Amino acid sequence: MGQSKVTPLPSNLDLAGKTAVVTGASAGMGLETARQLLARNCDTLILAVRNTTKGEACAQELLNNPTIKAKAKCPVVKVLPLDVDRYESVQSFAKCLQKEVPVVNILVLNAGIARLNMERAPTGHERCLQVNYLSNALLLFDLLPNLYSSAEKSGFATRVTWVGSRRHDGGGTFESAPPAPGTSILNRLDSDERSSVTTRYADSKLLCAMFMYALAPRLDSSKIVLNMVCPGMVSTGMSDFLPWYGRVLAGALKVVKGARPVEVGGLLIVNAAVVAGVEGHGRHFSDKEIMEVSEYIRSEAGQAVQKTLWEETLQEMREITSLPAEIS
């Protein structure tokens, strides 16, 4: 069964005077999101990328895009290094961003991975857990003061959109194999025994959703609007890590499911980032619609996992950074 049709963004959407940051911006939906923001007159765009050489080539590609090149005002496109495998890179990026960019109006947390085999990040954590969840949590905590001050300087709430996945909805291995009371949630995802290509990505996205649901009520939504969005199945290079036969199967699935062009994926991210209203604060969007909190997350077992996850995440972050007052 194909995916539903997506309606266009408002024709009068104008981001003149805005500064946006997109992580994982050197390919796929990150690069496309960057292009669409610039096409709607975003003044300054920060491409946060692992490979700065590739990032500079992407910046030039964006500036040479006919739609963007035809604009009366040439936008500023900057490339800053961000390796979400490493905590120290996340913190260096946050410090550099605050130094070079006085106001951030839009932050898109797009960087993410899926992996076939069990891999460890330099932090020692399983890589999907590190890249998809922990590094994004650290980046948010380190940037919160800047995001609040940006709202005060601009007079508008800073928008933060995190790219999630509907695959978190089923509860993953946490529902199929509930953790015993007192079990570490982070250690569970770090475990070689629990790590599986069929669940690793979905479990990491479940943690992202739980963290977003826990963090959002602690934020002042008049200053920071935080949401999450799943753009559905999109034709990107996300499955390139698979062996050839896996890529063939993934390609067939994309045909059967009607995978969307990358332009549609970018459109849905931009919609969540700049079109959706404050009613979307602390909510997960599926396409353009707000999802109900999943049955598993609402359950007693899910709430217990979310509470443990929040406490463990804060404990890990305290060893790395100073948490903002409203969080600690």
pLDDT in tens, 88-130: 999 999 999 999 999 999 999 999 988 778 899 999 999 999 9
3 domain-assigned: no
Residue 110 lies in a domain: yes
Q: How many domains does the chain have?
A: 1
Higher pLDDT, 169 or 279: 279
- CA count, 13 A, side-chain hemisphere, 134: 33
Would you please indicate which residues are annotated as catalytic (active-site) residues?
A: 201, 205
pTM summary value: 0.93
Phi/psi of residue 109, nearest 5 degrees: -90, 90
Residue 12 lies in a domain: no
Q: Which pLDDT does position 200 carry in this prediction?
A: 86
Contact 194, 172 (CB under 8 A): no
pLDDT of the residue at 103: 97
Asked whether residue 243 is assigned to any structural domain, the reply reads: yes
Q: Which domain holds residue 36?
A: 19-318
Q: Are 14 and 99 in contact (CB under 8 A)?
A: no
Q: How many Cα atoms within 13 Å fall on the side-chain side of residue 21?
A: 30
Residue 192 phi, psi (nearest 5): -60, -35
Task: Please tell me the predicted confidence (pLDDT) of residue 115.
Answer: 78
In a domain, 245, yes or no: yes
Does a structural domain hold residue 327? no
**Residue 86 falls inside a structural domain:** yes
CATH number at residue 113: 3.40.50.720
**Phi, psi of 294, deg, nearest 5:** -60, 150
Is residue 273 assigned to a domain?
yes
How do residues 207-216 score in pLDDT, each as one tens digit? 999 999 999 9
